[in-house]
Amino acid sequence: MGESVADALRDRVAPLAERLADFVPRRARGAAAADGMPAASGSAIVPEQTVAGQALIIVVGIMSFPACITIGAVTLVADAARDWQADIARELTIQVRPIENADVRAEAQKAATIASGAPGVRSARVLSDQENAKLLEPWLGAGADIGELPLPRLVVVEIDDPKGVDVDALAERLKSEVRGASLDDHRAWTNRLNTMAGVTVAIGAVVLGMVFLATALCVVFATRGAMAGNRDTVSVLHLVGAEDRFIVGEFQRHFLLLGLRGGLIGAGAAAVLFLLMSLIGSQTFNTAEAEQVSMLFGSFAIGPTGYFGALGVAFLIAIVTAVTSRITVFRYLERVE
Amino acid sequence: MDTGGASALISFENVGLRYGTGPEVLSDLTFEIEPRSFQFLTGPSGAGKTSLLKLLFLSLTPTRGLIHFFGQDSATMQPADLPKFRRRVGVVFQDFRLLDHMTTYENVALPLRVTGRDEASYRSDVIELLQWVGLGDRIHALPPVLSGGEKQRAAIARAVIGHPEVLLADEPTGNVDPPLARRLLRLFVELNRLGTSVVIATHDIGLMNQFDARRLVLDEGRLHIYG
């Protein structure tokens, strides 16, 4: 303590009664800010830049990243499955097997004619030899002469309105009027896709639930750590007459912001990964593997649902963080009381 | 003696305190803090001064006996009631207990801020009080850069900004040199003359000799009152 400060205090203490007496009525009438006084800032009551707080942001960021990736993967598979189903539902295939003493080409044409006349059907056409050869290319190689092979002929039927087509009636008619004909409505594929998409979404939901649970537990421990570091703050707030509601509100706001920052970091990293996957997926179609992936998942691009889902995960995790901290702080205060 | 605490701000009646299953650290305390009174609380180290101060600001619950705060039995107080009673008591801690991440201004304004008041309604009061205790040029300073005396004055300013009816100070002159200690004592005396009841816990005999006031002397957990 320097003497000059002590002197200054002595000078101020001397007229103490007069000044304090003046101070009281000024308070009562809510005196305006003194001219020339520096404006005061309102720092957060809970310290912002603490090791525990930074650690919590990192933990939430790390935990929200796989949650966002899960959301993206689930939406990717769900979108792909929906596209497959839509494509398949708008197409039927008639297969005409070669039968002895029957002209398979003529039978196929007959099947196409019957199908074209069915209600709800837009068109029906027999696949050409070139198209058949293209389909068989993976097995027979390019340039194979399939003219002499006893291959079934395929008729592709495009549908306008899947609900307007009586598939069973068409199948029955083809069976009775076209020799060797059978109708494939891809129902088995659709059912499998439905099952696969449902299982994928269910697995995603379970993973998401586990990630949320792990996040909540991490937040509980991190909040307790932060509370231990802020014990003095809580104690001082208590002693100056702060109500529990006020203290909890301050901590909840603090942890909501921490959770939001961590969640947005995780969601942002996941969004960057989604973008990179889309870019890579759209540029490597020259390999057989990439082509198969492309056939399965399109351009491998996460749709808006995936991005909004990741954003939703960030907010949800922030809310989990805030609610968890609220409960933890309330319990801590109950123990303190 | 009015053990019901009807006229006294705070009254103790046969109060005892023990920590856990240990021996009683305070035994059979019976005294009152009257309005506008001034008293020193003294005794050797370990006599229980800090424990008694904690009882006085509702930080501890007595093991036995009755304590009345502003007319209400402490045993019947609900936790939700504590803040409104604590706002009537200002406390200056021996270690100041300023929040290091908040400026001097924010520390002093804290008792008003936690009541939910708009800052504009108290800003000038806080600044005026800071100038009054000689910290007008340290408004934006953080506690870690304040000297011991400056922290002491900031802690005192925080304790009185809410115009408490009782001011408790734990070794308020323990960190300052004798001249400043005398001046701080004069500050407490002036606050007392303006209507605040003051309890100063100290083991500084020299300080107590400078002002004629009632002395509450703790010795091995028992209280002796002089004056």
Per-residue pLDDT of chain B (227 residues; tens, 9 = 90+): 444 445 899 999 999 999 988 899 999 999 999 999 999 999 988 888 889 999 998 888 999 999 999 999 988 988 888 888 889 999 998 889 999 999 999 999 999 999 988 999 999 999 998 988 889 999 999 999 998 889 988 999 999 999 899 999 998 887 677 887 887 888 889 889 989 999 999 988 888 888 899 999 998 889 999 87
Inter-chain residue contact B82 with A33, CB threshold 8 Å:
no
CA distance B33 to B68: 10
Which residues, listed in sequence order, are joined to residue A155 by a DSSP beta bridge? A94, A126
For residue A25, the tally of other CB atoms under 10 A from its CB is 9
Lookup: tokens for B158: 């925080």
- Tell me the shortest Cα–Cα distance from B12 to chain A, in angstroms: 20
Average pLDDT for A247-262: 89
Q: What percent of chain B has pLDDT over 70?
A: 97
Give the residue carrying structure tokens 């570091």: A229
Which of A31, A38, A237 lies nearest to residue B139, judging by beta carbons? A38
Could you give the domains of chain B? 36-61+82-226 (3.40.50.300)
pLDDT tens column, A257-279: 988 999 999 999 999 998 888 78
Most B-contacting residue of A27, A234, A238, A244 (CB-CB within 10 A), to test interface: A27
Q: What percent of chain B has pLDDT over 90?
A: 55
Evaluate if residue A11 carries a pLDDT over 80.
no
CA distance A307 to A17: 66
User: Chain B residue closest to A246 (CA)?
Assistant: B114
> Which letter does DSSP use for residue A39 in this model?
P
Laid out side by side, the sheet with B10-18 consists of B24-33, B10-18, B64-69, B72-73
Inter-chain residue contact B125 with A31, CB threshold 8 Å:
yes
Inter-chain residue contact A23 with B103, CB threshold 8 Å:
no
Strand-strand pairing, B214-219 and B38-42 = parallel
Residue ranges of B 78-107 with Cβ closer than 8 A to chain A: 79-80, 82-84, 86-87, 91, 97, 99, 101-103, 105-106
End-to-end CA distance of chain B: 15
Q: What are φ and ψ of residue B210, in 5° steps?
A: -80, -15
Lookup: tokens for B227: 């004056």
**CA separation (Å) from B218 to B18, B47, B99, B173, B192?**
15, 6, 31, 19, 23
pLDDT tens column, A140-155: 777 777 777 788 889 9
pLDDT tens column, B107-145: 999 999 999 889 999 999 999 989 888 899 999 999 999
Inter-chain residue contact B86 with A26, CB threshold 8 Å:
no
pTM over 0.80: no
Distance of CA A54 to the CA centre of its chain: 25
Residue ranges of A 13-32 with Cβ closer than 8 A to chain B: 13, 16-17, 19-21, 23-24, 26-27, 30-32
CA distance A320 to A313: 10
Phi/psi region, residue A246 (left: phi>0; alpha: psi -120 to 50; beta: rest), is alpha
- Which of B85, B98, B34 has the alpha carbon at shortest distance from B59? B85
Q: Is B134:A8 a contact under the CB 8 Å cutoff?
A: yes
End-to-end CA distance of chain A: 37
Lookup: tokens for B80: 């939700």
**B38 contact partners, CB below 8 Å, separation of at least 6:** B188, B189, B192, B197, B198, B211, B213, B214
**CA separation (Å) from B101 to A43, A233, B105, B144, B160?**
8, 10, 12, 9, 21
Which of B106, B126, B129 lies nearest to residue A43, judging by beta carbons? B106
Across A250-273, b (16+ Cβ under 10 Å) vs e yields: bbbbbbbbbbbbbbbbbbbbbbeb
Max Cα separation, chain A?
Answer: 127
What's the pLDDT at A119?
86
Q: Quick check: B137 contacting A, CB < 8 Å? A: no
The DSSP secondary structure of A173-230, one letter per residue, reads HHHHHSTTEEEE--HHHHHHHHHHHHHHHHHHHHHHHHHHHHHHHHHHHHHHHHHHHT
Q: Cα dihedral angle (A286, A290, A293, A294), rounded to 10 degrees?
A: -30
CA distance B61 to B155: 25
Q: Give the lowest-confidence range in A134-148, A202-216, A299-313.
A: A134-148
What's the pLDDT at A120?
84
Q: Cα dihedral angle (A130, A135, A136, A141), rounded to 10 degrees?
A: 70
Quote the ipTM score: 0.84
Average pLDDT for A318-325: 84
Across B186-197, b (16+ Cβ under 10 Å) vs e yields: bbbbbbbebebb
Q: Which helix (H) or strand (E) holds B227?
A: none
